[in-house]
Structure formats: structure tokens, C-alpha cells
Amino acid sequence: YGVIEDVHQSLMHLLGQYMRQSRMDESLIQQRNF
């Protein structure tokens, strides 16, 4: 019911944060190499 929606929302939020963090890490690594 509402619980499933809450879990889905939190999962999507965590996934978005992870994607953003991994992209930031990649850009940081590129900056260090050059």
C-alpha cells in the first residue's frame, strides 16, 4: 500500500544520490590526473 510507495521513493532517492556521487568521483579523478 503506502509502505511500498515510501520504499520505492527512498530507493529512487538513494539511487539518484549514488549516481551523482559516482559522477562526482569520476570528475575528481579526471581533475587529479590532469
User: Is 5 or 19 the better-scoring residue by pLDDT?
Assistant: 5
* Residue type at position 14: L
CA distances from 27 to 12, 14, 17, 18, 20 (A): 23, 20, 15, 14, 11
pLDDT at 29: 62
At 7-33, the pLDDT tens digits run 999 999 998 888 887 776 766 666 665
pLDDT at 31: 65
Place of cell 568521483: 25
**pTM for this one?**
0.52
